Amino acid sequence: MTQFWVRALVSGLIVAAIAMIARRSPALGALVASLPLISLLGAMWLWHDTRDAGRMASHLEATFWYVLPSLPMFLLVPWLLRHGVAFGGAMLAGCALTVALYLAVIVVAARFGVQL
């Protein structure tokens, strides 16, 4: 259980640091947020727990495929905000788009033999 709390604390500190950096410089905060820090930490913790190369390879490959459908959200939400949509509504629309695209990627990837 201690490992869980250490992992949660480290991940939370990264998110908090990104928010603090973004307050001073939105571009720098975005740069740090775009780094795959959480993905890398997750991969390191998975490796620490399993030492399973096959599982790690599957995890990292699936991460790649799930990143792609999340990217349009980062264009939709700012567009909605600039057109007067409230923050909550813009984020909800961005999340709904991402979920729909996740489902689409799962279906399309399966047709090409990629199991997610």
Over residues 88-99, the pLDDT tens digits come to 999 999 999 999
CA dihedral of residues 50, 52, 54, 60 (deg, nearest 10): 50
CA-only gyration radius of the chain, Å:
17
- Amino acid code (one letter) for 81: L
pLDDT confidence of residue 116:
86
The C-alpha atoms of residue 63 and residue 85 are separated, in whole angstroms, by: 30
Mean pLDDT of 40-52: 93
What's the chain's length in residues?
A: 116
Give the pLDDT score at 97: 98
Alpha helices in the chain (DSSP H): 2-24, 26-34, 37-50, 53-70, 73-82, 87-111
CB atoms within 10 A of CB 22: 16
7's CB contacts (< 8 A; 6+ apart) are 41, 45
pLDDT tens string 8-19: 998 899 999 999
Quick one: pLDDT band at residue 55, thresholds 50, 70, 90?
A: very high
